[in-house]
Amino acid sequence: MNPENEIDKTEALEPVETAAANVAEARGGVDGRKCPKWLLPLIAVVCAVVLVVAGVVGWNMYRGAKLAEAKEACATAADTVRNNANEYNALLNGDAADAAAVKAEQVKDSKTVESLGKELKASAPEYEGCVAEDAKGLDAATVKLGEQADWYKTHEQSLSKAVKAVTESKAAKTLETAKTNLTAKLDEAAKLLTDSDGKVQDNTTRETLTNAIDAATRLKDANDATKIDKARKTLEDAINGVNASVQAKTDADAQAAAAAAAAAQAQAQAQSTYSGVSSYSGGAYRRTEGSTSGSNTYRGTTSGGSGPAAAAPKPNLNGAYGCTEDCYVPPNNLIQH
């Protein structure tokens, strides 16, 4: 081996630093001076403070985020309660109030009215809102608001169902009543149509009644109470028209009968002006004395048929009935009183 080569290898090796040398270097400056003893504790304290501040800041940020989240959740729950409460109150003050005015005798099933009454007695929850200041309180308020929202939704549905039941039951009762009334009116109209034949002053009223009967008969089995009631009203008007025509003819016939009776009575009175009786015996009329009505008797005489008849006296019209004594009145001109 070449000694020169060995020398070259030795010069090529670099010194190796040990751990003790590194520590010594750390304790001393670059120029070999040592660091102060208080520096490391200070660094540790600063690091601890930084960690504490970071932890506080982090906790506050977390707590703030949780509070904001709780506020948002509570506000959402509050909005839900208000919406559900508004829908419930709208029903309560609207259709439910109208249904509450319906009485048991107005519906086909009275139990529907009872059920509605129970629903109307339900007490709504008291709204408190999101008044808490921390997340825990807000979370509790959110839970309570959720329960209130559910209450309003549930009772809105049950109240709506009760209102619908009353409404439908009332409609069924109304329809049933309308059909019953129409049937009764049809029976009345049919009887009147038969009884009024030849007894009306205007026969067109009976034709109107016939048309009304036909129209009403077609609606007997309908399910529209309004149309049925309208048909019944038309039928009732036609009945009144026939009744009025019958009454008009009755009155007219009564007046005609009264007029005929009055005429007959006047004629009878004219034919019987005097209550006295006059008799004719073939000769002169003689007034019978002592009679207020004056009974005049004609008395003629003959003398065995050989003598002339006595001359008839001339009429004297100064006394009662035209004669005071014997007077002559031609046989064909008898005076009756």
pLDDT above 70 covers a percentage of the chain that reads: 66
Is 7 inside a domain boundary? no
What was the pLDDT predicted at 319?
Answer: 46
Confidence class for position 149, pLDDT limits 50, 70, 90: very high
pLDDT tens by residue, 53-97: 666 666 555 566 788 888 999 999 999 999 999 999 999 999 999
Residue pair 228/182 in contact (Cβ under 8 Å)? The answer is yes
Is 29 inside a domain boundary? no
Q: Are 149 and 68 in a shared domain?
A: yes
Is 131 inside a domain boundary? yes
Is 41 inside a domain boundary? no
What was the pLDDT predicted at 35?
Answer: 66
Residue for token pair 């309180």:
137
Q: Are 282 and 267 in a shared domain?
A: no
Q: Are 95 and 154 in a shared domain?
A: yes
Q: Are 247 and 285 in a shared domain?
A: no
Task: Report the range of poorest mean pLDDT among 183-187, 200-204, 295-299.
Answer: 295-299
Of 90, 97, 85, the closest CA to residue 167 belongs to 97
Q: Is 279 helix (H, G, I), strand (E, B) or coil?
A: strand
Long-range contacts of 148-151 (CB under 8 A, 24+ apart): 148/81, 148/85, 149/77, 149/80, 149/81, 149/84, 151/124, 151/125
Please state, as a whole number, how many other Cβ atoms lie within 10 Å of the Cβ of residue 125.
16
pTM above 0.95, yes or no: no
Q: Above 90 in pLDDT, residue 151?
A: yes
Q: Above 70 in pLDDT, residue 240?
A: yes
Q: Are 135 and 224 in a shared domain?
A: no
Residues 6+ apart with CB under 8 A from 323: 285, 287, 296, 315, 316, 317, 329
Q: Are 285 and 259 in a shared domain?
A: no
Of 144, 98, 145, 96, the closest CA to residue 122 belongs to 96
Is 57 inside a domain boundary? no
Domain assignment of residue 157, given as a range: 64-171
Is 82 inside a domain boundary? yes
Q: Tell me the mean pLDDT in the region 161-175.
A: 97
Q: Are 201 and 153 in a shared domain?
A: no
Q: Are 167 and 216 in a shared domain?
A: no
Is 135 inside a domain boundary? yes
Q: Are 254 and 233 in a shared domain?
A: yes
Please count the structural domains in the chain.
Answer: 3
What was the pLDDT predicted at 177?
Answer: 96
Of 287, 314, 311, 283, the closest CA to residue 299 belongs to 283
Is 76 inside a domain boundary? yes
Residue pair 166/112 in contact (Cβ under 8 Å)? The answer is yes
Q: Tell me the mean pLDDT in the region 34-49.
A: 71
Q: Are 167 and 69 in a shared domain?
A: yes
Residue for token pair 């007034």:
287
Q: Are 248 and 286 in a shared domain?
A: no
Domain endpoint, select from 137, 171, 205: 171
Q: Above 80 in pLDDT, residue 8?
A: no
